[in-house]
């Protein structure tokens, strides 16, 4: 497959993560991808947990919470809020 054909299938979306605009080139974002967009570097440790909520999503589920292992379809202008919590 040539690069031209691959480019035709990619769509870039502008999403907002923790108040900052980010451009993604995928139709779906996983929990881990959203966390990585929110934090650089991603906080780590045995007690670090993340909460990911979203709104302005697709019609069947325009808002909700993403948990580890889940993914959500991306929509232009979608808003994600990611918080890191220490469960100590």
Where do the domains of the chain lie, and which CATH numbers do they carry?
3-86 (3.10.20)
Q: What is the pTM of this model?
A: 0.85
pLDDT of 4 strictly over 50? no
* Distance from C-alpha of 55 to C-alpha of 12, rounded to nearest angstrom: 18
pLDDT in tens, 42-88: 999 999 999 999 999 988 889 999 999 999 999 999 999 999 988 76
- Look at residue 59 in the predicted model and tell me its pLDDT: 87
DSSP at 31: H
């Amino acid at each position: 497959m040539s690069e031209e054909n691959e480019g035709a299938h990619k769509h870039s979306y502008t999403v907002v993560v923790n108040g900052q605009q980010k451009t993604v080139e995928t139709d779906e974002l996983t929990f881990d991808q959203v966390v990585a967009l929110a934090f650089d570097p991603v906080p780590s440790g045995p007690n670090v947990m993340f909460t990911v909520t979203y709104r302005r999503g697709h019609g069947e589920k325009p808002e909700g919470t993403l948990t580890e292992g889940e993914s959500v379809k991306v929509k232009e202008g979608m808003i994600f809020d990611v918080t890191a919590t220490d469960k100590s």
